[in-house]
Amino acid sequence: MKQLTFIFLVFISFKSLHGYSQNYDTGSIFNIPVHLDSVTISSGFNMMGFIRRVQADTTFYKAFKSMRLVPYTAVNDITAYNKEGEMNASYHSHTKQIIDKGCRVTALQDQKTTGDLFKRNGEHNYYTAQLYDYLFFARDTICNENDIVAGAMEERGSGQMEKSEYQLKQLIFNPGSKVSGIPFMGDRASIFDPGEAEKYDFKISQELYDGAACYVFKITPKAGYEHSVIYNELTTWFRKSDYSIVARNYSLSYHTIVYDFDVRMKVRTTEKGGKLYPTYIDYDGNWHVFTKKRERVKFRIEIVY
């Protein structure tokens, strides 16, 4: 059941969007009505082109690959809770990514831990913390990386962490795609496909986000389907000038006999030197897999380039 644990790092609710018109665009490529606000309707919005961009987006994934090529400092916070909501363990650190001759390594500037975050042998006691470490810390020097995205989404390794990373990439960077290898889930992650798309409301509006004009694409379950879908919310802010993703909110949950999860995440990006980089990730997850102890873990990373 170890392969199930990838999903619980997927990466909070957002204020309701008001002023939606009752008009629908029924010409989208997945043939599901899409609510457009009055401003978007009057702008002559190209719905079909927009949906294609959403499904083919690589800017978000490229931002995360690009962060491995530049120096930055980060503040890391991880907290684990028991079923009563009391803190079991915590971790706080400041780290610095050092780039030298095409290689990177993470320098630990300070660190503070409490509780049972680590086992006596120094290994992680929580899978979420272990995966966090694997994704964001280069304990040993890593060389020859790049931010080329063509084909990179399909890269798979042979180890458990590599398999988890591959499955994680599908949900985070390509939401709506089918994720293979997860028992009892079937096609429920394929929110744009027939059979699942009909269970969701799709809404598009326009607003300013951090000073940038954005299209806001929000997906929520229709009434009556709240407990039979995976995505409780998927909200993405696309910068209108180039369709780059400047922010995304996730809320996912699912329950089966052998596993259950309830995960929320916020991701924010920034542009520097003409490239997009993630600057803030906030995760809140509660998950359980048969034969493993339940994990209730929150983490936050703030990055400065």
The reported pLDDT for the residue numbered 112 is 97
Residue extents of the structural domains in the chain:
2-304
Q: Are 303 and 135 in contact (CB under 8 A)?
A: no
Tell me what the pLDDT averaged over the chain comes to: 83
pTM: 0.82
The reported pLDDT for the residue numbered 172 is 67
Mean per-residue pLDDT, 201-230: 93
Answer with the residue of higher pLDDT: 282 or 52: 282
Give residue 12's pLDDT band: very low, low, confident or very high (50, 70, 90). very low
Residue 45 has pLDDT above 90, yes or no: no
The reported pLDDT for the residue numbered 181 is 61
CA angle at residue 201 from 196 to 202, to 5 degrees?
100
Reading the block at residue 199, the tokens are 């269970």
The reported pLDDT for the residue numbered 149 is 86
Secondary structure element (H or E) that encloses residue 246, with its range = strand 245-255
The reported pLDDT for the residue numbered 47 is 76
Mean per-residue pLDDT, 190-203: 89
Answer with the residue of higher pLDDT: 293 or 69: 69
What percentage of residues in the chain have a pLDDT greater than 70? Answer: 77
Cα–Cα nearest to 101, from 152, 147, 142: 142
pLDDT per residue as tens digits for the range 54-104: 777 888 889 999 999 999 999 999 999 999 999 999 999 999 999 999 999
